[in-house]
Amino acid sequence: MSLVPTQARVERAAAPEVAIPAVVGADLTVPVLGGGSREYANLDHAASAPCLAAVRQAVDQLLPFYASVHRGAGYASQVCTAVYEQARQALRAFVGARRGDAVVVTRNTTDSLNLLARAVPSGTSVVLFDTEHHAALLPWRGPNVHRIATPAAVDAALAELDRALRACPVGPRLVVVTGASNVTGEVWPVARVAEVARRHGARVALDAAQLAPHRPIDMRELDVDYVALSGHKLYAPFGAGALVGRADWLQAANPYLAGGGATSQVTDLGDRLGVAWARVPERHEAGSPNVVGAHALAVAVDELGRNWAGVVHHERALTARLRAGLATVPGLTELSLFGPDHDRVGVVSFTVAGHDAGLLAAALSAEHGIGVRDGAFCAHVATTRLLRRAGAGEKRALRASLGLGTTAEHVDRLVAALRALVSTGPAGEYQLRDGRWAPVADDRPLPASLLGR
């Protein structure tokens, strides 16, 4: 089977132009070594995506009304409260939530999954794959957590999941699964995972951080109980995320944080305080709500929901172009969980034999105006296993990730730059500083308007 789509398939996929939401910073130029500048090629969408133009406009419209939420009688407070609550409905629709599902506004996916980990009933058996990125891997602790080693095929993964669930003691069970790998971009068979989980009476929590910006999600169709996602990956980088799912465990749990907003009444009982906690979702949203972030996230998911056909087409065409181009780079090995033909979003991680990933990333930035990620991508266990499986001697990989701000020129520039770096090496001189490569003489100025205070 071919390692990447054929050139004919790439050309067919890239042929028609499609309308996609505009992003802020699409025309950003950045300085390069030796003077001059280049249009910035942002190939690091998997870490954080730029702001949608519609989101920036919506935030600008809200800011004059900025005020307290749920606490004020003033008109501006009423506006902000209505905007904040309306955001829940947008998130509910975006993930296809069921009637009665709670929508808790959080900071990000990490916050959402830590909240869920605090809310699961005592003694719950948690089963997950070690391919999860740290937000989904680390919150679960204790003897009832069962980690399944990185699978090599979908059927093998499902069989291991079935065995792990059969071995769990009697009691509540939860399966945690990623929607799309933030290392390889491969889409997990979430509905099939849920089918196995249901046979054993287990609930399913979906880490949708990497899936949500790229593909539609329907909780009912996938048959999952919880979805966690992040605004900063969904073109709404204003500090909000969400946990959407069944309300019973969340309602029975102590508040995630103690403070104002999470209470319905506090009374002085002399030697102690009497506290009546609010119901879900307010129960887990102590403190002043991030109304700007919630509104930004709601606008972003609405924009994506109206434009899924264009979004998916754009990213599939560019992903095919990227993989075809990378296949021409000498010594390059693409990392993969399930094989080269498995469905994936626009995320590709790879190594180049004999070349340090950090040095390549530094040279791509300094000399070519290209932003990529190097390292283990907050998925250290999975990345290490995949590097070993690929036979790579490197301990770190490079990751190029696409999104709405990516163009064909960005992809082609990355491929050409990699070929040049492999052939002749960096043009500049680099050294390690605090564990990261940087130009010895870096003449690229940082923006004084942001850092000149």
Q: Which one, of 200, 196, 204, 150, lies nearest residue 177 by Cα?
A: 204
Is 51 a known active-site residue? no
Cα separations in angstroms, 404 against 21, 310, 313, 407: 7, 10, 11, 8
Active-site residue, selected from the candidate residues 51, 80, 168, 378 = 378
* 325: three-class secondary structure by DSSP: helix
DSSP states of 382-398 as a string?
Answer: HHHHHHHHTT---S-EE
User: 119-129 burial, b if ≥16 CB within 10 A, otherwise e?
Assistant: bbeeebbbbbb
DSSP 363-376: HHHHHH-EE-EEE-
What is the spatial distance between Cα 4 and Cα 264, in angstroms, rounded to a whole number?
57
Contact 107, 315 (CB under 8 A): no
Q: Which residue has the tokens 């930004």?
A: 296
The answer to whether 202 touches 155, Cβ cutoff 8 Å, is no
Q: For the stretch 373-412, what's the b/e string if a residue is b when 16 or more beta carbons lie within 10 angstroms of its beta carbon?
A: bbbbbbbebbbbbbbeebebebebbbbbbbbbbbeeebbe
CA distance 49 to 233: 5
Contact 283, 102 (CB under 8 A): no
Give the single-character DSSP code of 233: G
Burial of residue 22 (CB within 10 Å: 0-12, 13-18, 19+) is middle
* Cα 244 to Cα 206: distance, rounded to the nearest angstrom: 10
3-state secondary structure of 362: helix
Residues tagged active-site: 378
